[in-house]
């Protein structure tokens, strides 16, 4: 589905990939409802939108709050009159510790934001999308959703849930007007760790000992929008995601060991 003249709801629009998605869609002539828990972040996105800000609305919502999400479609429709696309990009990582040391409060937080947040948004907007001539749902999982990362067990589990949920949704929407895309970013140059209250910037620390470069968020957004416009089923972002996606299919045990060895020094 082409972005021009369409209306998109984008979660995580106050920072990182989500913000870059908002800006990329606006640059293609779309209207965007940016959703984030941070009002400050959304205001910064508005400033960055420049001359396109007249096609942008902002909505401060905690996507883990089902009641707040259920009220969101009416707020978006009041501004934009319709909705053609939903991009679930918002996500958080856990504290970088082994599962045995992870408080249950963190477990709940991972599942509530990363998985239920995606489910809540999809449930709220799907009826509206199904009434459009053409519509699209893009859910952002993670390389950690198909490859286990020690120290991020619950983050990975939540993103694996997003993966399977999205693939099932794709199957259910086959033959309808609603396209569905699942996205697997590798290491991205964002401040997700700081925004999540995480103890370490996992991707940055891992990259220091890796020959694979992290992908800038604006590049990630460009890849996602291109994938959407081409109605892609799966979108892999970064050479790390592409390489490990191949390896985990070919030699899953070896792939797990490679990541475990990579993370070992960070878990001491």
Per annotation, catalytic residue among 125, 155, 170, 184: 155
**What is the spatial distance between Cα 84 and Cα 137, in angstroms, rounded to a whole number?**
9
**What is the spatial distance between Cα 216 and Cα 213, in angstroms, rounded to a whole number?**
9
Find residue 87's DSSP bridge partners: 10, 138
Secondary structure of 17-63 as H, E, C letters: HHHHHHHHHHHCCCEEEEEECCHHHHHHHHHHHHHHHHHEEEEECCC
Active site residue 170: no
**What is the spatial distance between Cα 134 and Cα 152, in angstroms, rounded to a whole number?**
37
The rounded radius of gyration (Å) of the Cα atoms in the chain is: 18
> CA nearest 214: which of 264, 143, 161?
143
Q: What phi, psi does 17 have (nearest 5°)?
A: -60, -40
Q: Other CB atoms closer than 10 Å to residue 207's CB: what's the count?
A: 17
Nearest-10 crossing angle of helices 117-129, 72-80: 50
Question: Would you name the residues annotated as active-site residues?
Answer: 155
């Amino acid at each position: 589905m082409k972005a021009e003249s369409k209306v998109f709801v984008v979660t995580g629009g106050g920072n990182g990939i989500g913000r870059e998605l908002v800006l990329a869609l606006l640059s293609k002539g779309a209207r965007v409802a940016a959703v984030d828990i941070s009002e400050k972040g959304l205001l910064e996105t508005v400033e960055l939108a420049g001359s396109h800000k007249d096609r942008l609305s902002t909505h401060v919502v905690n996507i883990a709050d089902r009641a707040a999400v259920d009220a969101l479609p009416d707020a978006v429709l009041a501004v934009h009159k319709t909705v053609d696309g939903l991009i679930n990009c918002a996500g958080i990582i856990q504290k970088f510790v082994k599962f045995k040391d992870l408080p249950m409060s963190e477990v709940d937080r991972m599942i509530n934001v990363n998985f239920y947040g995606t489910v809540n948004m999809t449930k709220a907007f799907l009826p509206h999308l199904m009434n459009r001539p053409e519509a699209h749902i893009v859910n952002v999982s993670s390389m950690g959703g198909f490859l286990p990362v020690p120290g991020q067990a619950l983050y990975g589990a939540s993103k694996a849930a997003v993966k399977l949920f999205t693939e099932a949704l794709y199957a259910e929407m086959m033959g309808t007007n609603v396209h569905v895309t699942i996205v697997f970013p590798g290491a991205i140059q964002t401040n997700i760790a700081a925004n999540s209250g995480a103890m370490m910037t996992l991707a940055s620390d891992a990259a220091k000992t890796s020959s694979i470069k992290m992908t800038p968020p604006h590049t990630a957004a460009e890849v996602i929008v291109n994938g959407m416009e081409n109605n892609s089923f799966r979108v892999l972002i970064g050479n790390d995601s592409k390489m490990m996606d191949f390896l985990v299919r070919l030699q899953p045990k070896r792939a797990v060991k490679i990541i475990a060895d990579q993370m070992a020094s960070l878990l001491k």
